[in-house]
Every structure is written in C-alpha cells, then in structure tokens.
Amino acid sequence: MKRDFLNISDLSKDEVYQVIEYAIKLKEDKFMDKTLTGKSIGLIFMKQSTRTRVSFEVGVYQMGGQPLYISGITTQLSRNEDIKDTARVLSRYLDGIVIRTYSHSEVEELAKYGSIPVINALTDYLHPCQILADLQTIYERFGKIEGLKLAYIGDGNNMANTWLIAGGLMGLNVSIATPNGYEPNGKAVKEALELAKDSKANIEITNNPIEAVKDADIVYTDVWISMGQDNNEEKKKAFKDFQINEKLLKFANKNVIVMHCLPAHKGEEISEETFERFADVIFDEAENRLHSQKALMSLLFKNS
C-alpha cells in the first residue's frame, strides 16, 4: 500500500526517529541505500528552489533512481489541467512524485488520485521535509528532541505551522512569536494542541519575542516575506522588533543554537553577526535536507 508524506504527522513519532537515525547513517555512507534502483521520481516545481531541488535530485541519484525535474510552467498544469488528471497520468509513468507548489489542497488532491507515493516538498501551508532535516540537526546537537524548547520568531507562515505540528508530535515545546495579525494558521494550531495531549508538549503562541525565547534551547526564524508575496514595506515595519540578534538571545539558554531554513535576508529576520556565529549549525541543517529526505524516501518506497 502506497504512503504519502504531506504533513510531518503522516509519520509516527517512532518513524520520525527511525528516519533521523537512518539519515545519520546515510550521512556517513551516501551510496549505502539503493531503494530507488530502477525507479523514476518526478520532481514537480511550481515554485523556485535551490536546496529542495538539488537535495532531491542528488538524493534520488545516490539511491539508484532517475530524478526527473518537471517545471510547472512547462506542463499542462500551467494551462489548468485538472490535478486529478495529472495525478492519474503521472502514476502511469513514474514511481513517485515530489511536488513544491502553492496550494496545499493541490498536493492533497495529487495524493488522493495518484497511485504512487507523493511527497510534499513545500506548500504555503506546510514544509515537512525542511522540518525533518531540522529535527535531525537538533538530535545531532542535543542527543534528544523531547523536552527541549524551540522558539520560532517571525512570520506565522508554513514553517511556523509545521513547527507547531512537529512539536505536538515529538514532545518538543514550541513557542511561536509573531506580530499581532501574523499568527500561524488556526488549523495547524488545533492539530498541534491535539497531538500535544499525548506528547505533553507545551504549545504557545505569543506576540512577545522575549517571552518566546525565554529558556529556549533552539531559536528559529524564516524570512518575513515568503515566496510569492509582495515585498511589503508595511509588513517589514510590523516585524522590526522580531529580529534574531545577540540582544534577544540573552534571554535564551546559554547553550542555545540558532537555526534558519534559508535563504536568509540578513539584517531583517536575523542579524549578520548572529547568522555568522551560528553558520555551522545553519549549513549543517541545510546539508541534512539531503540525508533526511533520502531516509524518508527509503521508508516510503521500500514497499512500493
């Protein structure tokens, strides 16, 4: 039976740890897993990409498969062909689909009508592949995930939504600080709180960045203006007190690490000084996209 990965909660807590631990092994031996031998994986990109495209193309190759890059503007999707028709056609050609697009409902429909595994490589609602790499990075740094505190400072975007759900799933305490009116999606908050009933994670939404970073082990941020949004100067003004910098980090734990999913707009969501101080963590995090996604594909495709 095929499995999709549209949301971090499509995996169990144990499966997330399984992916992380296997990703660490793959980091040491990049060609050890050949699960995709003889398989062709379609990589559909409706949005521009650096890390996602390169990490998936390289990962599929290292696992013995054929990565097929598909630019959205060159397909009939750009001429409003039904998603369900695209799903049924591509299922006849491919062994799996990775898609990076705008609407989360498009990915859900692709998975519903496709007979092959579908991986969400980013939507405006969620970015679960990034979070897998982030969880791997946290585990490598701290030796655990459960019980730590992560403070997310910035826009309540797809990253904030996914961190909430991941926190609820993994027992990671998550505090999200955004300006008033820029809070995370209510659906994600609801799912996180439901998951937290079992994991005992503390889920918090605030408009005060100092309150959010208090006693944080990890401080996380993303760009203020997400891909596809206008370069809104009014929005930037609303976020001026939500920059990750040395002053704010004084309220976090002394061994805090700072993470960023990239690309970074230094001088906006993060200061140049702070970015460079934690550059090793941030670029380890970027590298881990490759390893964690390979471990994920091994899990999803080994029985497909």
Q: Of 127, 155, 291, 293, which is the active-site residue?
A: 127
Q: Of 4, 155, 222, 284, which is the active-site residue?
A: 222
Tell me how long the chain is. Answer: 304
Q: Is 291 a catalytic residue?
A: no
Beta-bridged to residue 219, according to DSSP, are: 151, 258
Q: Is 104 a catalytic residue?
A: no
Q: Is 222 a catalytic residue?
A: yes
Q: Is 134 a catalytic residue?
A: no
Q: Of 33, 53, 130, 284, which is the active-site residue?
A: 130
Q: Is 33 a catalytic residue?
A: no
Q: Is 129 a catalytic residue?
A: no
Strand-strand pairing, 149-153 and 173-177: parallel
Kindly report the backbone phi and psi dihedral angles of residue 74, in degrees, each rounded to the nearest multiple of 5, phi listed first: -100, 0
CB-CB contact of 212 with 160 (8 Å)? no
Name the token pair of 161. 């939504």
* Residue 223 Cα distances to 237, 240, 270, angstroms: 14, 12, 9
Q: Of 4, 289, 291, 293, which is the active-site residue?
A: 289
Q: Of 100, 104, 260, 291, which is the active-site residue?
A: 100
> CA angle 188-193-199, nearest 5°?
120
CA of residue 55 relative to chain centroid, distance: 13
Residues labelled catalytic: 100, 127, 130, 222, 261, 289
